[in-house]
Amino acid sequence: MSTVKIGETLKINLSGKDFLSLKDVSKEEILYLLQEAAAMKNDKIQNIFKGKTLAMIFEKSSTRTRVSFEAGMAQLGGNALFLSSKDMQLGRGETIADTAKVLSGYVDAIMIRTFEHEKVEELAKHAAIPVINGLTDMFHPCQALADLLTIQEIKGGFNGLKAAYIGDGNNVAHSLLIGCAKVGCDITVASPEGYEPDQDVVKLAKGYAEETGAQVSITNDPVSAVKDADVIYSDVFTSMGQEAETEERLNNFAPYQVNSTLVSHAKPDYIFLHCLPAHRGEEVTADIIDGPNSAVFQQAENRLHVQKALLKALLS
């Protein structure tokens, strides 16, 4: 079992590595990135990337991912290129391997936000530079880093905490499961039957939890999930690419709305998190997401700081 503690100064070398999921990084590496992000939050401008360029490939639209990476590179003295798949030869049939090899000769790192996780893995396989997963249908590791940073800032650490994720067992849930398990935070995911997280991801998370002493649970009961929770997390009921299922999902997920009745089962000082964008009146009511326990905008800002810490670690 790892003995690293929150607040311990860590020196970890991630230079030149890829960042595809939290499966690929250790507890020490996660805590190191959080440590760096906290430091960079207090020292926003660091001109360490003069002449360096990040290519950002978007096959899914974005607000937080694009702006945080682009602003982050600018604050570090580098440049970021927005590359829509519609404007690239990828959209006309060029292979991922060829794209990876070409971009490796032009830029210093690639961030991609796409659908299939296999596409990110293929890109990393053929690129000679670091590849960052900005989101796939399976994982959202950059979001999970921001989530963990927010929890650490407000709660002071992870041991002894319980996080409850309520809703679709999607990419956000997958990364949160792995992230919480690795840092020692208990995590329960409550989803309707048929919408639970991927079983292989749950198995991985439970394996990591054995090393840190955390508890990982999957349930169909949102009330039991939030009982005595320190953190309640929600996401949209219908993600990008699932629009045809909207009506069915709204019906199936209605009992999983985070509202005043549900949160009454959590600890009084719980914090509410949401990866945004949010649909008030669907997965969460306005009084919760806009209320005193909500930390969603602190969480959103933290995307910038963890992105910068990640870029610094991979490109230094």
What's the token pair of residue 95? Answer: 């292979």
Residue 137 assigned as binding residue = no
Residue 62 assigned as binding residue = yes
Phi/psi of residue 258, nearest 5 degrees: -85, 110
Residue 219 assigned as binding residue = no
| SS3 state at 223 | helix
Q: How far apart are the first and last CA of the chain?
A: 29
What's the token pair of residue 114? Answer: 């796409």
| Helical axes 96-104 vs 117-126, angle rounded to 10° | 50
d(CA 42, CA 147): 18
Residue 22 assigned as binding residue = no
Residue 268 assigned as binding residue = no
Residue 275 assigned as binding residue = yes
Residue 276 assigned as binding residue = yes
Residue 239 assigned as binding residue = yes
Active site residues: 113, 140, 143, 235, 275, 303
Q: Quick check: bond before 268 cis, omega within 30?
A: no
d(CA 282, CA 68): 26
| SS3 state at 157 | coil
Residue 66 assigned as binding residue = no
Binding site, annotated residues for carbamoyl phosphate: 62-65, 89, 113, 140-143, 275-276, 303
In the annotated binding site, the residues are 62-65, 89, 113, 140-143, 171, 235, 239-240, 275-276, 303
Residues that constitute the known binding site for L-ornithine: 171, 235, 239-240
